[in-house]
Amino acid sequence: MKLPFVKMQAVGNDFVVIDGISYRDIEWDKLSIDICNRHFGVGADGLLVLLSSNQAPIRMLMLNPDGTEDMCGNGLRCIARFAYEMGYIKGTKSTIETIKGIQEVEFVDREEWIVKANLGKPILEPKDIPVLSESSPILKIPVEDRIFEATVLSLGTPHTVIFTSEIPSDEVFYYYSPLLEKHPLFPKRTNVIWAKKKSDNEIEIRIWERGEVGETLGCGTGACAAKIADILRGSNSNSARVISKGGVLYVEWRGEVFLSGKVEMVFSGVYEK
């Protein structure tokens, strides 16, 4: 089997992107496990498959490296550019079907490829996140010798945001992040966003993603979750620059959540399996 693909990234959040419309017999979840492997595959934080839709020009299937389906803000923006380049999307605005529903995308700048996505309203109801706590969205999570005050919410994928005075060291980050990801409070696990508020309009984050991803350089929904958590904690500003190891994303929450930033093609190839 030979599969043409494109490697894309947004603030270091990298994806293998495949036009899957003409394929009928591929088990995409199993392919994701193989193709995302950084030693024996192409290597990526996730697999994006462009599929047909009855509700929008295309559907995005996003799969983690463990084969689980998920929602991804940077993935949505990447597949929007891919669909435009492939001719599936025309004009400056369009819609894409996702696991969360129909999402709107806008090509703000097609020279620099600044793509904005409307991620809809954040999910704050505990059973829908899901989290096994009625005190959501802000709750205290005991983990061994520590108790973390966290803001828990979902944007189609669950996030646990922990504000700290400083971004945690590797020792703290790599020890507590997987314990939080798989904490009994989260039946479907959770992404963990460590956040440092620099001002009402600027937040620095470090990201741990569920689904056998681990640390990532960037996360679109995670950046949005950080700003939403900041607002729920009392911020007077509804927008921010969110800085991660991979770069800067721009987030605004005004009823619905808007995420914008640059997306890039890295290389193309053919995957043989």
**Per-residue pLDDT reduced to its tens digit, 5-57:** 999 999 999 999 999 998 988 999 999 999 999 999 999 999 999 999 999 99
**Rounded mean pLDDT, 178-202:** 97
Domain identity same for 187 and 96? no
pLDDT of residue 211: 84
Residue in 236, 176, 171, 163 with CA at minimum distance from that of residue 205: 163
pLDDT of residue 1: 82
pLDDT of residue 24: 86
Please give the positions annotated as active site: 72, 219
Domain identity same for 268 and 249? no
Three-class SS of residue 187?
Answer: coil
**Rounded mean pLDDT, 102-128:** 96
pLDDT of residue 264: 98
CA 268 to chain centre: 22
Its pTM surpasses 0.85: yes
Domain total of the chain: 2
Domain identity same for 184 and 153? yes
pLDDT of residue 174: 97
Residue 232 is part of a domain; what is its CATH number? 3.10.310.10
CA dist 42 and 61 (Å) reads 18
Q: What percent of the chain has pLDDT over 70?
A: 100
**Rounded mean pLDDT, 145-162:** 96
Three-class SS of residue 77?
Answer: helix
**Rounded (5°) CA angle 63-65-69:** 25
pLDDT of residue 213: 87
| C-alpha R_g of the chain | 18
pLDDT of residue 124: 95
Has residue 136 got a pLDDT over 90? no
pLDDT of residue 135: 79
Domain identity same for 91 and 163? no
Domain identity same for 113 and 132? no
Domain identity same for 75 and 178? no
Domain identity same for 178 and 114? no
Domain identity same for 150 and 73? no
Domain identity same for 249 and 132? yes
**Rounded mean pLDDT, 250-265:** 97
pLDDT of residue 134: 84
Domain identity same for 138 and 160? yes
CA dist 48 and 70 (Å) reads 10
Domain identity same for 130 and 248? yes
Quote the domain boundaries for residue 234: 126-254
Structure tokens at 183: 């904490």
Domain identity same for 102 and 137? no
pLDDT of residue 56: 98
